[in-house]
């Protein structure tokens, strides 16, 4: 049942992005016959500014006042370089990306490259007019942040009024015909107390998919070691992943469900630093000054990303946890160069 649901879902993206099909075929050809590893997904970060103060925010350690962020032309260059390496999906993140007017030009440029575009947002700026503008430039998916099913819990976790923001954004997206996924950060607590399961019930009621994220020990959670998943947590996650309404980063790989950080997935910071994942703050070069092919080669040679990794590295990988606690967490600003680890 889940395989059929994913096939229908992916088919809808192909139908709405005619340039995507030949690029996807080309990527599979490279994987199967040439033993190459083309990119799939790139998280592209805008300004780290945000109107919320979420308990789990990762961005607080990235906003460096001594550095200049990328300009619009830099974002376009980054997209061009990534598509040459095979990227077919760009996920726009922040901060809160809807606070940056360049968002619309970036989406338009990426769409010309035959890519699927998703937008990760708290929804607070998604008025009916804003949603219509996103629909007009053919944004594919809105990833609407909602981690907990109860108003009081969600408002305490993110910001007072957050629950109403999400409900309003969901209604407005639906009115203009924008595809919406609910994006929820799961924690050991929410997995065990049933609140993540209730988020799934919310999505079933509204007939939208639940995109799950595992917790990362960084940012405002830099000392929250209790967020690291144990075997009981992983067992619950595996069961959730079987549900046809549940999606995760690990499911977005070309073939087997697994963490593909540094291989099929990258994150580009506001300053152009290239990391293997949004939640693995180790950079291997800069998209504006370095060859992306060379950057990816460095990642592929890095021991942390070798072998099969079942789930999110910063949530489950004991070696990474040690590296983070002993080395990465000592730095005032992230990311840290791989040469300093």
Portion of the chain with pLDDT greater than 90, in percent:
92
Q: Are 85 and 265 in contact (CB under 8 A)?
A: no
Q: Is the pLDDT of residue 174 over 80?
A: yes
Portion of the chain with pLDDT greater than 70, in percent:
96
Q: What is the pLDDT of residue 7?
A: 47
How many angstroms separate the Cα of 45 from the Cα of each of 120, 152, 198, 325?
Answer: 10, 29, 30, 24
Q: What is the pLDDT of residue 9?
A: 64
Token output for 28: 């599979």
Find the mean pLDDT for residues 250-264: 93
Q: What is the pLDDT of residues 290-319, one digit of tens each?
A: 999 999 999 999 999 998 899 999 999 999
Q: What are 213's strand-pairing partners?
A: 185
Q: What is the pLDDT of residues 182-230, one digit of tens each?
A: 999 999 999 999 999 999 999 999 999 999 999 999 999 999 999 999 9
Spatial separation of the C-alpha atoms in residues 169 and 130, rounded to whole Å: 10
Q: Are 97 and 103 in contact (CB under 8 A)?
A: yes
Spatial separation of the C-alpha atoms in residues 47 and 130, rounded to whole Å: 19
User: Quick one: DSSP state of residue 19?
Assistant: T
Task: Choose the weakest-confidence range: 7-21, 72-86, 269-283.
Answer: 7-21
Q: Are 324 and 268 in contact (CB under 8 A)?
A: no
Spatial separation of the C-alpha atoms in residues 23 and 262, rounded to whole Å: 20
Q: Is the pLDDT of residue 5 over 60?
A: no
Sheet holding 141-145, edge to edge: 246-248, 209-213, 180-185, 141-145, 116-121, 89-93, 41-45, 265-268, 274-275
Categorize the per-residue pLDDT at 238 as very low, low, confident or very high, splitting at 50, 70 and 90.
very high
Closest residue by Cα to residue 145 from 27, 236, 59, 242: 59
Q: Are 75 and 102 in contact (CB under 8 A)?
A: yes
Q: Are 316 and 188 in contact (CB under 8 A)?
A: no
Residue 24, number of CB atoms within 10 A of its CB:
21
Q: Is the pLDDT of residue 6 over 70?
A: no
Which SS3 state, helix, strand or coil, does residue 286 take? strand
Spatial separation of the C-alpha atoms in residues 336 and 126, rounded to whole Å: 34
Spatial separation of the C-alpha atoms in residues 240 and 327, rounded to whole Å: 33
Find the mean pLDDT for residues 153-157: 95
Q: Is the pLDDT of residue 252 over 50?
A: yes
- What lies within 8 Å, CB to CB, of 267 at 6+ separation is 42, 43, 45, 274, 275, 276, 277, 278, 280
Q: Is the pLDDT of residue 16 over 80?
A: no
Closest residue by Cα to residue 269 from 67, 23, 83, 113: 67
Q: What is the pLDDT of residues 96-154, one digit of tens each?
A: 999 999 999 999 999 999 999 999 999 999 999 999 999 999 999 999 999 999 999 99
Q: How much helix, strand and coil, in percent to the nearest 5, is found in the chain?
A: 45, 15, 40
How many angstroms separate the Cα of 194 from the Cα of each of 86, 108, 154, 189?
Answer: 39, 40, 15, 8
Query: Structural domains in the chain?
Result: 2-340 (3.20.20.70)
Spatial separation of the C-alpha atoms in residues 323 and 309, rounded to whole Å: 17
Closest residue by Cα to residue 141 from 90, 198, 98, 75: 90
Mean residue pLDDT of the chain comes to 95
- Greater confidence (146 vs 18) lies with 146
Q: What is the pLDDT of residue 17?
A: 79
Spatial separation of the C-alpha atoms in residues 336 and 325, rounded to whole Å: 13
Q: Is 50 left (phi over 0), alpha (psi -120 to 50) or beta?
A: beta
Q: Is the pLDDT of residue 30 over 80?
A: yes
Find the mean pLDDT for residues 42-57: 96
Spatial separation of the C-alpha atoms in residues 327 and 329, rounded to whole Å: 6
Number of helices (H), then strands (E), belonging to the chain: the values are: 13, 11
Q: Is the pLDDT of residue 2 over 70?
A: no
Write down the pTM of the prediction: 0.95
């Amino acid at each position: 049942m889940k395989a059929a649901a994913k096939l229908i879902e992916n088919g809808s993206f192909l139908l709405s992005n005619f340039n995507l099909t030949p690029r996807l075929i080309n990527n599979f050809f490279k994987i199967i016959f040439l033993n190459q590893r083309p990119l799939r997904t790139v998280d592209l970060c805008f300004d780290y500014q945000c109107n919320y103060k979420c308990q789990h925010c990762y961005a607080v350690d990235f906003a460096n006042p001594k550095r200049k962020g990328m300009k619009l032309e830099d974002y376009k260059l980054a997209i061009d370089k990534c598509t040459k390496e095979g990227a077919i999906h760009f996920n726009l993140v922040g901060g809160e990306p809807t606070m940056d007017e360049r968002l619309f030009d970036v989406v338009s440029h990426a769409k010309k490259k035959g890519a699927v575009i998703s937008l990760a947002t708290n929804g607070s700026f998604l008025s009916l007019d804003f949603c219509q503008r996103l629909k007009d430039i053919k944004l594919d998916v809105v990833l609407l942040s909602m981690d907990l099913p109860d108003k009081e819990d969600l408002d305490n976790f993110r910001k007072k009024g957050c629950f109403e923001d999400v409900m309003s954004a969901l209604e407005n997206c639906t009115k203009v015909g924008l595809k919406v996924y609910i994006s929820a950060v799961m924690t050991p607590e929410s997995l065990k107390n049933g609140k993540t399961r209730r988020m799934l019930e919310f999505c079933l009621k509204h007939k939208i998919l639940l995109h799950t994220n595992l917790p990362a020990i960084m940012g405002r959670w830099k000392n929250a070691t209790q967020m690291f998943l144990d075997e009981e947590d992983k067992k619950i996650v595996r069961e959730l992943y079987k549900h046809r309404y549940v999606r995760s980063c690990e499911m977005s790989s070309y073939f087997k469900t697994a963490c593909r950080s540094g291989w099929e997935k990258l994150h580009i910071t506001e300053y152009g630093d290239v990391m293997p994942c949004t939640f693995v703050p180790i950079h291997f070069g800069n998209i504006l000054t370095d060859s992306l092919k060379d950057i990816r080669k460095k990642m592929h040679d890095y021991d942390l990303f070798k072998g099969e990794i079942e789930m999110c590295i910063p949530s489950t990988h004991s070696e990474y946890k040690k590296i983070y606690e002993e080395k990465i967490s000592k730095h005032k600003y992230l990311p840290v160069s791989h040469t300093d680890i």
